[in-house]
Structure 1
């Protein structure tokens, strides 16, 4: 069976969504193999240089990052082919609001990202959550990444989003530390497995129903 799985990546502008999508979520474990070997310091340094080169480039209206997994093993043991589409959505909520219904179509999960050190990001993220709450299916998986740059000073006026009590949060998100990158990648993959498990089960039911209908 071949599946296409759509995951939204949303949050305020300049939160680091594109960096996470491009360098972590859309990569296989083999692509990040240098993290497991402390001897691969040159490759890790090159990875960090690539991260830094992204800067605060705004996305509008969205970018789609794809990851093709030929042998994706489900919790049941079944193996499927999955085309993961990560929809990296612009953080400009005012400009995106009238497009969100279309953007959310067929989405099975959402990754929320904000920078806990930037003033206003917590409140903006809560706005994003409220907008998507009624547009995504109730079964959609959700996860929160509080992502900040290394050595970033905490803004005393920064407010934590209220949704932290309602959505699983990945702690200590920093794409410049090996352990943190591994954790962020693992958490995304675990979320993805839950999404694909549900998608596979639903597809199987649809196919069985169609076969039973054709037998009459």
Structure 2
């Protein structure tokens, strides 16, 4: 399988996506797919594995777009700071943080394609983003000034685990920002809303063409 190697995965992404600007962050360029089903099927075929999760790296999800927009509009949050972008997907939030002046950004995701996607997208935006595919939920959050997380509440167990992990980071002194478009398992209790956006998306991904999406913090 060509996708067993990082160069192979980069080639796969180039072949099956196109460079485009997410609607809510038009100053960024990402390698994105236009339809869910074809790219999902292709990743399963490439990895010879059925039942994989959706290729989150191939789309600019509403929570990530909102969080990236907030970071770009409020660069003081990350400027000169160490940032971790949890479940980075395409890397949209990590890239926004670097464009806003972060000293260093560590993007994290366990999807086998994400390292290639983040690398290609970082190059397209003339920034450098570090990456790890380790599951950071198995340990305390790494030392960072800011923890970012977009669209993390698709499933209850994952949402609970990530929120607990982010709270540990907040207790250790990191600022925490979360982007969420009203996912079922997103817990608003104990959070402070910083901003709300109407984020253009697609019915390929969401139930609405425009999602009301908020950015939250752990006070």
TM-score (norm 2): 0.35
Bigger Rg, which one: 1
Bigger proportion of residues as helix: 1
